Amino acid sequence: MLYPSSPNNQQFLDLSLSTPSDDPPPTHAPPQQDTQTTAPSRRRRSVNQILRPGKSLTIPPPYPWSTTRRATVHSLQYLQAKSINTITGRVQCKKCDRKFSIEYDLHDKFAEVAIFIAKNDDEMHHRAPEAWMNPSLPNCKFCDQSNCAKPIMSKKRSINWLFLFLGQMIGVCKLSELKYFCKHTKNHRTGAKNRVLYLTYMGLCRQLNPAPL
């Protein structure tokens, strides 16, 4: 309903829109202290901060294809320039307990892993497939048993990562060993084994070939 304009209405509008100059200044209540405490931000620690006393970031290279940094191997380009084309590792038969060495051709075996990743990466969803979780093992050259020659594992700093990568046998590693790799290569290392194992494969792949597959 519209009301006709009148002197009284106009006077009311003038009063309601104007601010008297003689009003006392508004009083402000003292600010209330926030009783809620904010959790301190958690900063990601560097590898240097995580290392135990007496541990150094660099180590003597355990293999010709290893660098002085823990859990790190040289690139394919570097290895080719140094004429390092054969990667050797030690295995032990689970049947007869005999130990022996296995050699892998660096470029042929890397191509196998790269092709496998290219074909299956979309279906992995950042999780290691069954073939990596439960890898097929080499046959024993002494007792002729199949799928029984398991890589011989040493201290974490001396794990033969490149040999395991080329043979697609990193899955024989314990979760703690996989976390060791991710820790020293600045990868996320929490989650189930298939997650950490996937990151280990991808990390080694990038070390060998920094360019995308």
Position 47 pLDDT exceeds 80: no
pTM over 0.85: no
- Identify the CA nearest to 120 among candidates 198, 211, 182: 198
Alpha helices in the chain (DSSP H): 7-17, 47-50, 76-81, 106-124, 130-133, 161-166, 175-184, 193-208
pLDDT at 55: 74
Per-domain residue ranges for the chain?
Answer: 64-208
Q: What gap in Å lies between CA 46 and CA 186, rounded to an integer?
A: 8
Q: What is the DSSP letter of 58?
A: B
Q: What gap in Å lies between CA 67 and CA 167, rounded to an integer?
A: 20
pLDDT in tens, 72-95: 999 999 999 999 999 999 999 999
pLDDT band at 10 (very low <50, low <70, confident <90, very high): very low
pLDDT at 190: 85
